[in-house]
Amino acid sequence: MHKSLKEDDTMSNNAYLSQGREVEIFKTAAENNLPVLIKGPTGCGKTRFVEHMAEQLHRPIHTVACHDDLTAADLVGRHLIGAEGTYWQDGPLTRAVREGGICYLDEVVEARKDTTVVLHPLSDHRRILPIERTGELIQAHPDFMLVISYNPGYQNLMKGLKPSTRQRFVALSFDYPAPDREVVILCQESGIDKQQAQQLVSLGGDLRRLKDHDLEEAASTRLLIYAARMINAGLPAREACTTCLAQPLTDEVETLAAIERLIQAYF
Amino acid sequence: MEEFVGEIWHKLITRQARTDFENARVHLASLQPQLAPYFRALGGESGKGIEGADHRVFNTNRRLVQRMAGSHRRFAVCWQDERSLRFPDSIAYFPDAEMNTSLYFWLTALAAELPQIKHWFVDNQTATLKLLKKRPGLIPEYQRLADAFILMRPSLVSLKGQDRQREEAIQQAIKEPGTIATLPIAKGDPIPLPLWVYPAPLHGLITSSEDDLEDQGKGNKAEENLDSNRKQAQRFDDSKQTDGLLVFQLECLFSWAEQVELDRCQEEDLDQDLSSAAEDLDIISLSRQRRAGSAKIKFDMDLPAPQNDDLPIGDGHRLPEWDYRKERMIQDYCLLQPMLADDALPSPVPEHLKNQARSLRNRFSMLQTNRQLQHRQLQGDEIDLDAWIDVKTQPHRNIDNQNLYINRDNNHRDLACLLLADLSMSTDAGLNAEQRVIDVIRDTMLLFAEALSATRDPFAIYGFSSVKNKQVRYQLLKNFAEPYNDQVRGRLQAVKPGFYTRMGAAIRQSSEILKLQKSQQRLLLILSDGKPNDIDRYEGRYGIEDTRKAVLEAKQQGLQPFCVTIDEKGNDYLPYLFGDQGYAVISDLTRLPILLPKLYLNLTGTHA
């Protein structure tokens, strides 16, 4: 899919099916140099959306998958030692600020709290990035855009995003696509027929009802696409669903047995 | 002799009359944990529990032998009301255990599709059709069940007239649902259809939940032994004191089920065999007249006199409560009263815990949070100039030393923990010869506090119990600000079992307190011994839903609630309250004092 994105620009319209007006909103924010915050559950298409928008806006994208050891230096850059002595190496954020493009911080709440503070001068009217180690003050490239995303599931909520950080963004909230759209997405992404896609989507809908009681997280669109691809590749539907939709979601034996039954109710 | 012959005859005749397949019997209890998520996934109301159903009387045409055996009069069928979904306790309808299991799942799916029944015969058919259309995978299974079902029905040849027409209609409705619009009328009730969901019984028992005078002392032992299937309940108006004329057919003898206007209040020994008596009943009649059948007076639930009670702090906080029926918060419904045991004397760690406390302190003191810079690392934020100079000045010594960076210690923890202990009356129960549950809870709190004070993580300990919404007693044992010292130890050792468990209010208050902590991770640890309950309407689903709401609120505020329970049946309701990963059931209570600190480490992601 990535390949087709880059090969053909007209394809990219199909590659992301908008859920609402998020494409227009994102474009407007980009034109006005405003940073964007995207929130939504796992696998609902946040990253795909940002990639699609980068394509649309013809801007390069610098993606950083944040983890809990990510420090400010990892974003901004650091001094390294080479054969000639020390030299400065730009981090992904600094590179995006200098050269222009979308800097996309995926799952930003995973990063340490102090990390997000470096984003503050970049995400308000100043649009600057001060680098204290080198004493530089970089004015952001006109094409620079900051996009962060996170999943407001409770696991991340306990880390949370500082209110002072959140306040600097235009926020978009994502959810799993509506069933009829999800069917279209499944068909496009995997090539299975519509009837099977419909069954998969309503199975996904059933599984999503279990969120918060029996499952920590609901079956994502991504998982449904995985299952659809496996089915399309010739794996029996039941097996594909078990491996893609039951096992990845829980380890609980009883819940697994219930999900197995549920799968049997569809395939 | 008479009795012996009678017994043999009973055995013989019941065996003859039997239509169940004993070898293929499947029990609800073993399937329940699977049925509950299945029901929820198919769109059933998520707060509904699953329970055993009572036997209902069906006036069917019985065979002679069945009539002689007195069987096939009462059947357990699947039905639901707003509180829970009821299934027969066990199913042995089909000769194959797998089929009987399938039947449970089928009924679950059908019940999820059919939350309310207006017309039993039509609604079941339409729901079956809808279900099969939505979930085509169920078609072969339904077909199998339907085929087997037809075989189990009385053959059409043996029936005549209206009976035959009706049976034909039923079989057709099962074979091809949606094809029969009306059920032909015939004498008596048709033999129950195990594939269908039945409406809730007409004369349901509505308990008036806001009754103030409810006399609910500690249940009699015999009451607790009743198995889970429920009895039909009927309420009689016995306020009239005139003894009316009893009209009955002479050929029926008085059985247990008939309501007799006889004052038995004084017969106190009747409760010896309550459970077997209850087993024999079709209907348990409840009288509204409130005269305790027993002369025992229960003092223990009275609040202690003010001079003996702990010191109340302030006028209390008004907290909201969630009413799931109205789906809204009732503002200022609970009055939560913080209490302080001001007369508890300072005391050191009790003798029997000293060794454990010392070793825990030692282990946990290693976990003190210290943010240090780690020098000479392979990777890091800054260049370690000392290392760099070393390499430059002594190239012969560290020729390919790459560890030239300074890194910040990642191992730090920024965590506040509030331990909320359930001090309800049930903790007064004996655990073994020496210990009560409360003793273990007390030891657990002490050791937990010892361990945490060694880590220097901020922590607080509160206990709670309640007497209705008017007094939720919130015991302050240690707050975040005060240091852990003998004063606190004394208070912890002075805790005693309180009243009931209004968990929602206690969780809400704890969230308020914990929310003020500035730590990155905020853990709300709840130590409990059972379901939320109180003597007003706060029991069953109401209590569960309110607690769940309080837990969700806590999560939304960025707190991490976690429940540690000793209730072995906790697996039924805890996932609904705290989520899949949000609780732990501890089966061996005596190990709790040691397990809790360990659990704390797991939860906080630190490794000792």
Count CA atoms closer than 13 A to B450's CA, side-chain side.
25
Q: Which residues pair with B583 in a beta bridge?
A: B563
Distance of alpha carbon A105 from alpha carbon A115, whole angstroms: 11
Residue A1: pLDDT above 60? Answer: no
At B159, phi and psi to the nearest 5? -105, 160
> Long-range contacts for A136-139 (Cβ within 8 Å, ≥24 apart)?
A138/A94, A138/A97, A138/A98
Residue B107 DSSP one-character state: H
Distance of alpha carbon B536 from alpha carbon B504, whole angstroms: 14
Query: Does residue B90 share a domain with residue B28?
Result: yes
Average pLDDT of span B547-566: 87
Q: Helix B437-455 and helix B486-493: axis angle, to 10°?
A: 160
Of B111 and B390, which is predicted with more confidence? Answer: B111
Residue B108: pLDDT above 60? Answer: yes
Distance of alpha carbon B225 from alpha carbon A98, whole angstroms: 75
Task: State both tokens at B60.
Answer: 């069917």
Residue B462: pLDDT above 90? Answer: yes
Best mutation target, A198, A212, A266, to test chain B (most B CBs within 10 A): A212
Nearest to B383 among A86, A113, A267 (CB): A86
Kindly report the nearest CA distance between residue A192 and chain B, in angstroms.
Answer: 17
Nearest CA in chain B to A216: B580
Per-residue pLDDT band at B384 (split at 50, 70, 90): confident
Question: Is residue B217 domain-resident?
Answer: no
pLDDT in tens, A118-133: 899 999 889 999 988 8
Burial of B100 from C-beta contacts in 10 A (0-12 / 13-18 / 19+): buried
**Record: contact B38-A261, CB cut-off 8 A:** yes
Report the amino acid identity of residue B170: I
Torsion angle (degrees, nearest 10) of CA A174, A178, A181, A182: 80
Per cent of chain B over pLDDT 70 is 79
Query: Does residue B570 share a domain with residue B434?
Result: yes
Task: State both tokens at A114.
Answer: 């102090």
Query: Does residue B479 share a domain with residue B403?
Result: no
Measured between beta carbons, the chain B residues lying within 8 angstroms of A154 are: 555-556, 560, 579
Task: State both tokens at A16.
Answer: 């992301």
pLDDT at residue B223 in the model: 43
pLDDT in tens, B484-517: 888 889 988 888 888 888 999 999 999 999 988 8
Best mutation target, B32, B38, B141, to test chain A (most A CBs within 10 A): B38
Of A118-127, B73-82, B545-554, least confident by mean pLDDT is B73-82
**Record: contact B42-A263, CB cut-off 8 A:** no
Distance of alpha carbon B234 from alpha carbon B214, whole angstroms: 18
Average pLDDT of span A38-49: 89
Average pLDDT of span B16-45: 86
Average pLDDT of span A238-262: 91
Per-residue pLDDT band at B300 (split at 50, 70, 90): very low
Query: Does residue B424 share a domain with residue B402?
Result: no
Q: Which domain holds residue B387?
A: 373-408
**Record: contact A213-B41, CB cut-off 8 A:** no
At B207, phi and psi to the nearest 5? -85, 135
Residue B522: pLDDT above 70? Answer: yes
Query: Does residue B528 share a domain with residue B506?
Result: yes
Residue found under tokens 């279209």: A184
pLDDT at residue A197 in the model: 94
pLDDT at residue B471 in the model: 84
Residue B278: pLDDT above 90? Answer: no
Question: Is residue B231 domain-resident?
Answer: no
Residue B264: pLDDT above 80? Answer: no
Pairing of strands B471-478, B459-467: antiparallel
Any idea what the CATH number is for the domain that residue B562 is in? 3.40.50.410
Average pLDDT of span B414-433: 84
Query: Does residue B461 share a domain with residue B331?
Result: yes
Query: Does residue B557 share a domain with residue B533?
Result: yes
Buried residues in B506-539 as b, exposed as e (16+ CB within 10 A): bbbbbbebbeebeebbbbbbbbbbbbbbbbbbbb
Of B204-213, B276-285, B303-312, B546-555, least confident by mean pLDDT is B204-213
Task: State both tokens at A174.
Answer: 């994502």
Question: Is residue B235 domain-resident?
Answer: no
Residue A186: pLDDT above 90? Answer: yes
pLDDT in tens, B324-360: 888 888 888 888 888 888 788 888 888 888 888 888 8
Residue A148 and residue A162 in contact, taking contact as beta carbons nearer than 8 Å:
no
CA separation, residue A210 to residues A214, A258, A259, B36, B42 (Å): 5, 11, 10, 10, 9
Best mutation target, A198, A200, A261, to test chain B (most B CBs within 10 A): A261
Of A196-200, B294-298, B436-440, B584-588, least confident by mean pLDDT is B294-298
At B388, phi and psi to the nearest 5? -60, -45
Give the H/E segment covering residue B526: strand B521-528
pLDDT in tens, B202-259: 654 444 434 333 344 444 444 444 444 555 555 444 444 445 555 555 555 555 555 5
Report the amino acid identity of residue A263: I
Residue A87 and residue A93 in contact, taking contact as beta carbons nearer than 8 Å:
no
Chain A residues with CB within 8 Å of chain B CB:
69, 71-73, 78-79, 81, 86, 113, 133, 154, 157-160, 199, 202, 206-207, 209-210, 212-216, 250, 252, 254-255, 257-259, 261-267
Count CA atoms closer than 13 A to A231's CA, side-chain side.
27
Average pLDDT of span A209-229: 87
**Record: contact A254-B382, CB cut-off 8 A:** no
pLDDT at residue B412 in the model: 62
pLDDT in tens, A11-36: 444 478 888 899 999 999 999 999 99
Measured between beta carbons, the chain A residues lying within 8 angstroms of B33 are: 254
CA separation, residue B528 to residues B504, B507, B565 (Å): 13, 12, 5
Distance of alpha carbon B234 from alpha carbon B87, whole angstroms: 20
Residue B314: pLDDT above 50? Answer: yes
Q: How many CB atoms lie within 10 A of CB B407?
A: 20
**Record: contact A258-B46, CB cut-off 8 A:** no
Pairing of strands B328-340, B317-323: antiparallel
Nearest CA in chain B to A257: B34
Average pLDDT of span B585-593: 78
pLDDT at residue B292 in the model: 43
Residue B249 and residue B274 in contact, taking contact as beta carbons nearer than 8 Å:
no
CA separation, residue B566 to residues A62, A134, B50, B390, B526 (Å): 50, 58, 21, 59, 11
Residue B401 and residue B391 in contact, taking contact as beta carbons nearer than 8 Å:
yes
Query: Does residue B70 share a domain with residue B9?
Result: yes
Nearest CA in chain A to B574: A213
Per cent of chain A over pLDDT 70 is 92
Residue B15: pLDDT above 60? Answer: yes
Residue B272: pLDDT above 60? Answer: no
Residue B417 and residue B523 in contact, taking contact as beta carbons nearer than 8 Å:
yes
Listing DSSP states for B174-213 in one string gives HHSTTS--SPPP-SSPPPP-TTSEEPPPSS-----TT-S-
pLDDT at residue B208 in the model: 40
Q: What is the 3-state secondary structure (H, E, C) of B39-106?
A: HHHCCCCCCCEEEECCEEECCCCCCHHHHHHCCCCEEECEEECCCEEEECCEECCCCCHHHHHHHHHH
Residue B262: pLDDT above 70? Answer: no
Of B499, B350, B46, B208, the closest CA to residue A211 belongs to B46
If DSSP codes are grouped into helix, strand and coil, which group holds residue B534? coil
Query: Does residue B468 share a domain with residue B543?
Result: yes
Of B247 and A152, which is predicted with more confidence? Answer: A152
Residue B288: pLDDT above 60? Answer: no
Question: Is residue B181 domain-resident?
Answer: yes
Pairing of strands A144-150, A101-106: parallel
Count CA atoms closer than 13 A to A118's CA, side-chain side.
26
Nearest to B580 among A216, A257, A261 (CB): A216
Distance of alpha carbon A172 from alpha carbon A25, whole angstroms: 9
Distance of alpha carbon B485 from alpha carbon B496, whole angstroms: 20
Report the amino acid identity of residue B466: S
pLDDT in tens, A92-119: 999 999 999 999 999 888 887 778 888 9
Query: Does residue B529 share a domain with residue B430?
Result: yes
**Record: contact B581-A265, CB cut-off 8 A:** no
Pairing of strands B74-76, B55-57: antiparallel
Residue A245 DSSP one-character state: I
Question: Is residue B205 domain-resident?
Answer: no
Nearest to B580 among A157, A206, A214 (CB): A214
Of A254 and B254, which is predicted with more confidence? Answer: A254
Best mutation target, B580, B603, B604, to test chain A (most A CBs within 10 A): B580
Kindly report the nearest CA distance between residue B262 and chain A, in angstroms.
Answer: 49
Return mean pLDDT, chain B.
78
Average pLDDT of span A156-185: 83
Task: State both tokens at B548.
Answer: 């769940």
Query: Does residue B378 share a domain with residue B480?
Result: no
Q: How many CB atoms lie within 10 A of CB B327?
A: 8
Listing DSSP states for B397-448 in one string gives TSTT----EEEE------EEEEEEEE--GGGGSB-SSS-BHHHHHHHHHHHH
Given B135, B166, B198, the domain boundary residue is B198
Residue found under tokens 């039923």: B170
Distance of alpha carbon B440 from alpha carbon B478, whole angstroms: 18
Nearest CA in chain B to A254: B34
pLDDT at residue B237 in the model: 47
Return mean pLDDT, chain A.
86
**Record: contact A79-B383, CB cut-off 8 A:** yes
**Record: contact A254-B37, CB cut-off 8 A:** yes
Q: Helix B437-455 and helix B592-604: axis angle, to 10°?
A: 40
Nearest to B134 among A79, A202, A209 (CB): A202
Best mutation target, B381, B392, B410, B549, to test chain A (most A CBs within 10 A): B381
Write the ipTM.
0.78
Q: Using alpha carbons only, what angle is made at residue B320 by residues B316 and B324, rounded to the nearest 5 degrees?
A: 150
Of A80-94, B159-173, B283-297, least confident by mean pLDDT is B283-297
Task: State both tokens at B510.
Answer: 């704890």
Given B198, B213, B233, the domain boundary residue is B198
Task: State both tokens at A88.
Answer: 């400065």
Measured between beta carbons, the chain A residues lying within 8 angstroms of B412 are: none
**Record: contact A264-B36, CB cut-off 8 A:** no
Distance of alpha carbon B133 from alpha carbon B529, whole angstroms: 45
Per-residue pLDDT band at B573 (split at 50, 70, 90): confident
How far is C-alpha A258 from the chain's CA centre? 30
Per-residue pLDDT band at A222 (split at 50, 70, 90): very high
**Record: contact A216-B579, CB cut-off 8 A:** yes
Query: Does residue B22 share a domain with residue B105?
Result: yes
Of A89 and B401, which is predicted with more confidence? Answer: A89
Q: How many CB atoms lie within 10 A of CB B79?
A: 21
Q: Number of folded domains in chain B?
A: 3
Given B183, B198, B213, the domain boundary residue is B198
